[in-house]
Amino acid sequence: MTSNKKLRASLLITVLGLLTAMGPFSVDPYLPAFPEIVKGLQTDLAHVSYTLSSFFIGLSVGQLIYGPLLERYGRKRPIYIGLTIYAISTAGCALSQSIEALIFFRFLQAIGSCAGLVSARTIVRDLFKGKKVAKVFSTLMMVVAVSPIIAPTVGGLLTTYFGWRSIFIVLFVFSMIMILGAILIVPHTKKPNTAYILRPGNIFQNYLNILKNPSFFLYALTGSIAYSGLYAYISGSPHLYMNLFGLNEQQYSWVFAIIATGLIGSSQINNLVLKKHSMEKTVQTAIFMQCIIGSTLLATSLTGATNLWVNTFLIFAFISSLGFIFPNCSALAMEPMGHTAGNASALMGAIQMSIGAIASAFVGMMQNATGIPMALIMTLCGFLALGLYFLGKHLIKNAIVPVH
C-alpha cells in the first residue's frame, strides 16, 4: 500500500471513528453542566435529566430509521441528512429558552447522530472482510472510548468560562467539520438501490429476516448483553464513588477516565490477539474472564471486603474485557450481512442500546446504600452473554437452528 493510500485509509478510519463517537460525545460534555442548566432555564435537576432520557430514546429509535435509508439511498446521502439534522438541533439546544425545548432538541440531536453511528459500521462492512473488520471496529471503539476521558473535562471548562450553551456551540462546529469530512473523505461504497421499498411492512420484514439469521442473532445479542455491563457501571458508578467512597466530582472524573483507558487499551490489544487467534476463540475467552471478574466484584460487594482500589481494579478489568468482546461480536454479526449491511448495522445498534438501557434501569431500580446492585447486574450481563453464546453455538452446530 502506497503512502497516499495509507494516509487516506487512516483519514477514513478517523472520520468513521468520529462519526461513531458523535452520540457518546454529545452526552459526556454536558453532564457537568447540569447545575448551570437548572439555573439558566429555571428548572430542576429531574427535568434536566429528561434531556438525557430523550437523547437515549432518540439513539434507540434513530438507528432503526437509518438502516433502510442506507439501503435505499446509498451510504453518503443519509449521512448528510443525519448531520444536517444534528447541526440544526444542536443550534436549537444552544438557543433553547425552556427545558421543554431543550428536551425536544436533544431528542432530534440523537436522531441526527445515529446517521454517523449506523453508517460507519456499514461502511466498514462494505470495505473490509474477516478479521480486518474486527480490527477496524477495535479502532473505532478506541475513538469512542476516548470520549469519557476528555469530554467531561472539556464540558466543565466550557461551562465555567463560557456558560453551558457554549458546549452546544462547540458541538455545532464539530458537526460542520464532520459534514466536510463526510464529503471529502467518506467514499461511495454502495450505490442507491431503487428497488428497495421504504414501506413500514417491508422495513419490518427486512429486520425480521435479519433476526432470523442465526449468526447475526447470536453475535449481536451476545455482544450487546456483554456490553450492557458498561451501562450498568455508568449508571451505578456515581453512587458508588461519590456516595460510598466519598470522592468529589473531580476525583470521580479521574477514576472514570482511568477505567475508560482499559477499554481503549484492550480494544487495541485485540488487534494483536487476532493475529494468532480466531474471533470466536477471543470472544469466548473474554466472556469467561468477564464472568470471573464480575463474580469477584459481586463477592467483594456482598462480603464488604472491598475498598476504592479493589473496586476500581476489578471494574477496570471488567470494562477491559469488553474491548475483546464487542469488536469481534460486531464483526461476526455483520459478516453474513453483505447484501443488507445497513439494516443489520441499524438493528445491531438498536439492540445494544435497548439492552444497555434495561441494564441501566435495573441498577437504578435496585439502588440502595451499597454497590451490590451495580455489581450484580454487571455479573449477570457476563453470565447471560456466556450462556447465550454456548447455547447458540450448540444449536447452530447441531443444525437445530438452520444457518441462512
In the chain, domain spans: 1-184, 206-398
Predicted confidence band at 365 (pLDDT cuts at 50, 70, 90)? Answer: confident
pLDDT recorded at residue 93: 96
- Give the distance, in angstroms, between the CA of residue 205 and the centroid of all CA atoms in the same chain: 25
Q: In terms of CATH, what superfamily is 1-184?
A: MFS general substrate transporter like domains (1.20.1250.20)
Q: How many residues does the chain have?
A: 404
- CA 220/CA 159 separation, integer angstroms: 38
Q: Which residues lie closer than 8 Å to 393 by C-beta, 6 or more apart? A: 218
pLDDT tens, position by position, 108-164: 999 999 998 888 888 887 888 777 887 887 778 777 767 766 777 788 788 888 999
Q: Which span out of 190-194, 224-228, 348-352 was modeled with the highest average pLDDT?
A: 224-228
Q: Which residues lie closer than 8 Å to 75 by C-beta, 6 or more apart? A: 119, 122, 123, 126, 186, 188, 189, 190, 342
All cell numbers assigned to 288:
469467561
pLDDT recorded at residue 404: 47
Predicted confidence (pLDDT) at residue 14 exceeds the cutoff of 80: yes
- In the chain, the amino acid numbered 21 is A
Q: Which residues lie closer than 8 Å to 349 by C-beta, 6 or more apart? A: 59, 63, 114, 117, 118, 121
Domains 1-184 and 206-398 share a fold: yes
Q: Which span out of 16-25, 236-245, 286-295 was modeled with the highest average pLDDT?
A: 286-295
pLDDT tens, position by position, 19-67: 988 887 887 787 778 788 889 999 986 788 788 778 878 888 888 888 8
- CA 23/CA 358 separation, integer angstroms: 18
Residue 378 DSSP SS3: helix
Across 207-222, average pLDDT:
90
Range from 2-11, 15-24, 118-127, 370-379 carrying the lowest mean pLDDT: 2-11
Q: Please check whether residue 294 is in contact with residue 382, taking contact to mean a CB–CB distance below 8 angstroms.
A: yes
- Give the distance, in angstroms, between the CA of residue 16 and the centroid of all CA atoms in the same chain: 14
φ and ψ of 381, to 5 deg: -60, -45
Q: Pick the closest to residue 295 from 354, 358, 381 (CA basis).
A: 381
All cell numbers assigned to 157:
471548562
Predicted confidence (pLDDT) at residue 167 exceeds the cutoff of 90: yes
Q: How many CB atoms lie within 10 A of CB 366?
A: 14
Predicted confidence (pLDDT) at residue 314 exceeds the cutoff of 90: yes
What is the share, in percent, of the chain residues with pLDDT greater than 70? 96
Q: Which residues lie closer than 8 Å to 371 by C-beta, 6 or more apart? A: 236, 239, 240, 244, 301, 306, 311
- CA 314/CA 305 separation, integer angstroms: 13
Q: Which span out of 34-43, 62-71, 166-175, 343-352 was modeled with the highest average pLDDT?
A: 166-175
User: CATH says 206-398 is which class?
Assistant: mainly alpha
Whole-model pTM?
0.76
pLDDT recorded at residue 400: 60
pLDDT tens, position by position, 229-243: 988 887 788 778 877
pLDDT recorded at residue 255: 84
pLDDT recorded at residue 244: 86
